[in-house]
């Protein structure tokens, strides 16, 4: 009987923890699980982000896909490719990097 009570307590604690982590504080911003993802073209990106993509640091990288992410915080998810390398930038409309913890 005590084992059943102990298991029930652990399950309840795990459930409470899972619900408490639906919002994640990344330090830079707060990203919620519920967000809207809209595919955009390079021309749809804010001018500041377009300038960053044309800068010396990224000029050899090709834009694969870009998304405007709306939710608790609005930012742009930009997927780049250079030969066999890939990278993803998460930038706000001012070109500042946004820390995002991907949800499973």
pLDDT above 70 as % of the chain: 65
- For residues 26 and 85, give the distance between their C-alpha atoms in angstroms, rounded to a whole number: 26
Can you tell me the mean pLDDT for 39-52? 97
pLDDT score recorded for residue 7 = 42
Residue 26 token pair: 């990344």
Higher-pLDDT residue of 77, 32: 77
pLDDT of 18 higher than 50? no
Please report which helix (H) or strand (E) contains residue 71, including its range.
none
- Please, which pLDDT band fits residue 33 given cuts at 50, 70 and 90? low
pLDDT of 3 higher than 50? no
Helices (H), 36-94: 47-54
In the chain the domains, ranked by start, together with CATH numbers, are: 23-104 (3.10.450.360)
Residue 48 token pair: 């500041």
Q: Which of 54, 60, 56 is nearest to 87 (CA)?
A: 60
With H, G, I as helix, E, B as strand and everything else as coil, classify residue 16. Answer: helix
Q: How many C-beta atoms surround the C-beta of residue 28 within 10 A?
A: 15
Strands 62-70 and 75-82: antiparallel
The pTM of the full predicted model, rounded to 2 decimals, is 0.65
């Amino acid at each position: 009987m005590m084992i059943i009570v102990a298991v029930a307590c652990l399950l309840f604690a795990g459930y409470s923890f899972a619900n408490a982590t639906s919002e994640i504080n990344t330090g830079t911003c707060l990203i919620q699980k519920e967000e809207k993802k809209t595919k955009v073209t390079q021309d749809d990106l804010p001018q500041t982000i377009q300038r960053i993509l044309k800068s010396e640091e990224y000029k050899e990288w090709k834009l694969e896909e870009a998304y405007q992410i709306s939710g608790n915080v609005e930012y742009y998810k930009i997927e780049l490719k250079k030969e066999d390398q890939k990278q993803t930038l998460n930038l706000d409309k001012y070109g500042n990097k946004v820390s995002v913890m991907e949800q499973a």
